[in-house]
Amino acid sequence: MRLCPLLLLLLLALCRAGITAAARSLSLRGSWRLRSGNGSLELPGEVPGCVHSALFQRSLIQDPYYGFNDLNYRWISLDNWTYSKEFKIPFDISKWQKVNLIFESVDTVAKVLLNNVSIGKTNNMFKRYSFDITGVVKAVNFIELRFQSPVLYAAQQSRAHTLYQVPPNCPPSVQKGECHVNFIRKEQCSFSWDWGPAFPTQGIWKDVRIEAYNICHLNYFTFSPLYDNHAQEWNLEIESSFDVVSSKPVSAQVIVEIPKLQTQQTYGIELQPGKRIVELFVKINKNITVETWWPHGHGNQTGYNMTILFKLDKDLNFKKSAKTSRAQQRASLVCHPAQAWLRRALCGVPALVFPILLPVIALSEQTERTVELIEEPIEGSPGLSFYFKINGFPIFLKGSNWIPADSFQDRVNSELLQLLLQSVVDANMNTLRVWGGGIYEQDEFYELCDDLGIMVWQDFMFACALYPTDQDFMDSVRMEVTYQVRRLKSHPSIITWSGNNENEAALMMNWYHIDVSHMGTYIKDYVKLYVKNIRKVVLAEDKTRPFITSSPTNGAESIAEGWLSANPYNTKFGDIHFYDYISDCWDWNVFPKARFASEYGYQSWPSFSTLEKVSTKEDWSYKSRFSLHRQHHENGNDQMLLQAGLHFKLPQSPDPLRAFKDTIYLTQVMQAQCVKTETEFYLRSRSEIVNGEGHTMGALYWQLNDIWQAPSWASLEYGGKWKMLHYFARHFFAPLLPVGFENQSVFFIYGVSDLRSDCNVTLTVRVHTWHSLEPLCSRATKHFVMKAGEAVLLYQERVPELLRRCGNCTRQSCVVSFYLSTDSKLLSSANYHFLSSLKEAVGLQKAHITAIISQQEDTFVFDLETSAVAPFVWLDVGNVPGRFSDNGFLMTDKTRTVFFYPWKPTSKSELEQSFRVSSLTDIY
């Protein structure tokens, strides 16, 4: 059973005779003062937030993303900033036995002072910090955080590591980044990446508060569901940590109640003075059918409300019922004045101070599911499988890789998270890999994934580097991992932990040119960090999901070879990352027939409407200084044109702006078609073994989202606008899909089913000439059974025979489309197969496409009509936020209806003014 914390009300109280309140909380969110290192700049700034955001909000700098400001504003990250605030304690501090200062997170290196007394230091962005200020706090207080530049700190730590180098020292020059990021426990991509800028932020980026309490205090609360296969029953492990400041033991009664599962159990506990952990084991009623949590497309995301009451005073009775949905729970809490601190936690509203007169209680929603990583022999293959079972059912993981949604996390709000994650399921994905060079995402990210059925492959934050293993670093990592696992493990969406991104491959493929004689040192450090430290913590804290040491990895084979495999890219084990920008992406033979593809992709440029916001007219050409500056991947702009030029004519407009827009469009066409071809190859490889390879059970393309406005591998632009690739993903990740490809002049169509049950279908294959909207020929198969969860061959025909059968047809003059249906009802969208490069197409005419726009409630209807067959039809409404039901499609029928779903209120007239439609021939 998996428990997903829908809501944790840690009402920290202990009521006894003569004690009016057992805990008080004071939020320090809101306005602080910021000061530069030499005092020349002083300004107000919001907490949570960072220095860059504060400067921008006060109009002291431009948008950091504008133009070349990532270089212009390097001085901000190189300075040592101070955050300060004066605040009053609105209660008599002398009446409290213990007072703590809590930072949910600090970015990153700072000395913390209260009333000019040093109370601690921070050096890890991914940890929660608690400082005892009982002897320092007064009625009126002055707090300071004296930050050190993360860039200077990282360089300092690197210089102090004198025994041997820990590569890489600096990123490639094309990234325009900072050095030695592996020496600081901070968002690794904040020093730059091949898709993002260098903005090493400083600030208090999460909540900060004062907590005062008597007798005892609940430090953390977490739980894990476990399924007993032998007894065939669900159990629940609950762990609570208390700080008992009473000089005498504290007795309590704990009541765990899950009403819908008819489960209620009561426990007696005694808390001794000091830090104490209480572990409870709850058996779920066997006579009740437990509904499990399923990934998107495979079932419901079922949950159960649970109440845990720590009754610390026998004379006080308190009962609080939880609503079914999170939205209802939040609404009820916001309306309750005694729970105002939750307003801040849940809705981002400033907190109020209040006395708590309640026993300790936790309200949660529980969800159940099991997860297994299956690595076992496969008939016909010398390797091992690598796939996930959810609730005992094999699931093909289809999706993408998530990176931070902004360089400045205070700009990542609920609305943006909802938009991006809704776009994941709208594209028929079921999985995101939270990549290890970013951050452990905020709680709401995982709550949304729980609700939407998005499985999460969770990396720990180590990426593309070797790392030091001195004692201070290891201790910091251990506390980081412990905190994050306890924070996140109750989310059913998280299906696996992964130690790092690409570090096994970096070491064993010797990316950093380490001398062979020194390799043993780095191998020892790798095992020490990821196996003896991180893995050890994970296995101790979480028994409910697998741990993978790296990605890519050979999994069990890597373990057998001493945790590092000689060839981490072996297609017969584990997962692979694959990139090839030179070979023809229309040739499926290029791609590895791997067990699991967790990274692969191609670049494209974001739309002109996205770039326009951060650039000027002089920047609007493909070879401008701006275009070169924004490209952080070596030769990336040239590689996109090289790949596009294999199959398309490159734009030739004499108008520089027209040529720039056409090139942007063509890079998106190229990216979408390349990733489509590669993904469909992985999808159709799920049920077969060829030459020992295959049984592919995962396709996660790189990458889902953008961190700024620049060329990248993303399918969602900065802000959430869908690229052509994302519309393509909606089709190639559909639950039922026909996939076409050629092999030695034979045309094959596979049926790929992600359905949970068999279905009766008919396959229809049509051939069009490029110059006619009427199909040249059409053939439908007899009804057949499409097996659930399989990829099977449905159709094959030699291409010369297909062309002869259809009459006046050549490879250059015709295109093939095909779809699945039942009783004339479409079950899949139409797919297509190009018989030649489109730059060689004969008869392809310039299409005149018109649209009539109408409105149906909150949705807008675009009725399209074309004068000719039109490949890659692109509908664009500029800066109007929203998405179409389909886009980038091959239009072989004279008319087509497409819907537009706005993300913000708009009008028919605004859409008519913004609307532009184009297709491939428009760029010639």
Which H, E and C letters describe 229-243, residue by residue? Answer: CCCCEEEEEEEEEEE
Q: Residue 299: left if φ>0, alpha if ψ -120 to 50, beta else—which one? A: left
User: Tokens standing for 298?
Assistant: 């495979």
What one-letter code names the amino acid at 588?
W
Q: What are phi and psi of 914, to 5 degrees?
A: -90, -20
Q: CA 12, CA 357: separation in Å to the nearest integer?
A: 9
Q: CA 19, CA 217: separation in Å to the nearest integer?
A: 15
Contacts 24+ apart (CB under 8 A), 422-427: 422/452, 423/716, 423/720, 423/722, 423/726, 423/883, 424/399, 424/400, 424/452, 424/454, 424/704, 425/296, 425/452, 425/453, 425/454, 426/730, 426/883, 427/715, 427/726, 427/727, 427/729, 427/730, 427/733
Provide the terminal-to-terminal Cα distance of the chain, rounded to the nearest Å: 58
Is residue 599 part of the annotated active site? The answer reads yes
User: DSSP secondary structure string, 522-553?
Assistant: HHHHHIIIIIIIIIHHHHHH--SS-EESSBSB
**Listed residue (848, 836, 852) closest to 897, CA to CA:** 852
Q: Catalytic residue among 211, 441, 480, 599, which? A: 599
- Cα–Cα distances (Å) from 158 to 151, 176, 177, 506, in that order, read 11, 19, 16, 19
Report yes or no: 10 and 320 within 8 Å, Cβ to Cβ. no
Which ranges of 267-383 would DSSP assign to H, the alpha helix? 326-334, 340-347
Is residue 910 part of the annotated active site? The answer reads no
User: What pairing do the DSSP bridges indicate for beta strands 360-366 and 304-311?
Assistant: antiparallel
Torsion angle, alpha carbons of 779, 782, 788, 791, to 10: -40
Q: CA 400, CA 249: separation in Å to the nearest integer?
A: 51
Report yes or no: 528 and 574 within 8 Å, Cβ to Cβ. no
DSSP bridge partners of 368: 292
Q: CA 186, CA 59: separation in Å to the nearest integer?
A: 27
User: Tokens standing for 30?
Assistant: 């809101």
Q: Catalytic residue among 104, 447, 480, 502, which? A: 502
- Cα–Cα distances (Å) from 275 to 136, 189, 284, 498, in that order, read 21, 37, 29, 30
Q: What are phi and psi of 198, to 5 degrees?
A: -95, 105
User: Tokens standing for 731?
Assistant: 């089709």
Q: CA 794, CA 300: separation in Å to the nearest integer?
A: 31
Q: What residues are labeled active site?
A: 502, 599
